[in-house]
Amino acid sequence: MRHVISVSVDNEPGVLSRVTGLFSGRGFNIESLCVATTMDPDVSHITLVSVGNEQIIEQIIKQLRKLINVVKVVDLTPTDHVEREMALVKVKAEDRQRAEVLRIADIFRCRVVDVSPNTYTLEVTGTTEKLNAVLGLLKSLGIQEVVRTGSLAIQRTKKE
């Protein structure tokens, strides 16, 4: 099963390599990984997506907690949370296709961030499923290049 794991770590050199080294050393899977500093400059935040059965996910979480520089680990999957991913897509857009690309972009609320005589570059934000859907449609028109961020996730505030 796919799990989204939220990890707070000390913002120090070498910490990320310890985290990824744990995954490679023990043969765990990383689907995606997002890292950036937080409001507190001493803390970085990692959103990590991994696939495995319950036993493997439990091991991943326990092994992460064992690292000195790991401050907090939360498995967001069983909790109510919001997930977003971004992609930049450079699509071939010539002649009659130019309108079609823009139509798809409009339907999925993408933004056009770069234009050239024969391409559009689109910014797409949403869940992994939405991104896959957009990319699926654009593929038939001719995608030149795609870059994706991997998932970010945050817990929803509990409502009283």
Partner 1 sequence: MNEGMPMTTAIWLFDPAAYRILKAHRPVIYAGGGVILSKASEELTKFAESLQIPVTTTLMGLGGFPAPHKLWLGMLGMHGTYFANMSVHHADVLIAIGSRFDDRVTGKIEEFAPHAKIIHIDIDPTSISKNVVVDIPIVGDCQDALSQLNTLAAEVIPRELASAHQDWLEQIAQWKQDHPLTYDHTSGDLKPQFVVEKLYELTKGNAIISTEVGQNQMWAAQFYHINRPNRWLSSGGLGCMGYGFPAAIGAQVACPDEIVIDIAGDGSIQMNIQELATAVQYELPVKVAILNNGFLGMVRQWQQLFYDRRYSQTPMFSPDFVKLAEAYGALGLRAEKPEEVEPVIREALNTRKPVLMDFRVAPEECVMPMVPAGAPMHKMLLI
16, 30, 43, 61: which one contacts partner 1 (CB under 8 A)? Answer: 61
d(CA 112, CA 62): 43
17, 24, 38, 59: which one contacts partner 1 (CB under 8 A)? Answer: 59
* Residue number, 105 or 153, with CB nearest to partner 1: 153
Q: Can you say whether the dihedral through the CA atoms of 24, 28, 32, 35 is positive or negative?
A: negative
Residue 54 interacting with partner 1 (CB under 8 A): yes
Q: Is residue 149 within 8 Å of 49, Cβ to Cβ?
A: no
Residue 139 interacting with partner 1 (CB under 8 A): no
> What's the closest the beta carbon of residue 101 comes to partner 1, in angstroms?
41
Query: Which single residue is written with the structure tokens 């929803």?
Result: 156
* Residue number, 78 or 117, with CB nearest to partner 1: 78
* Residue number, 19 or 105, with CB nearest to partner 1: 19
Q: How many residues bind partner 1 (CB under 8 A)?
A: 18
Number of residues that this document lists for the chain:
160
Judged by CB under 8 A, which stretch of 60-68, 95-103, 104-112, 122-130 contacts partner 1? 60-68
77, 97, 118, 127: which one contacts partner 1 (CB under 8 A)? Answer: 77
110: number of Cβ within 10 Å: 24
For 19-130, strand residue ranges (E) read: 32-37, 43-51, 70-75, 81-92, 111-116, 119-126
d(CA 21, CA 13): 14
29, 79, 132, 144: which one contacts partner 1 (CB under 8 A)? Answer: 79
Residue 2 interacting with partner 1 (CB under 8 A): no
Q: What share of the chain is helix, strand, coil (3-state, %, to 5)?
A: 30, 40, 30
Residues of this chain that bind partner 1 (CB under 8 A) = 54-55, 57-59, 61-63, 65-66, 72-79
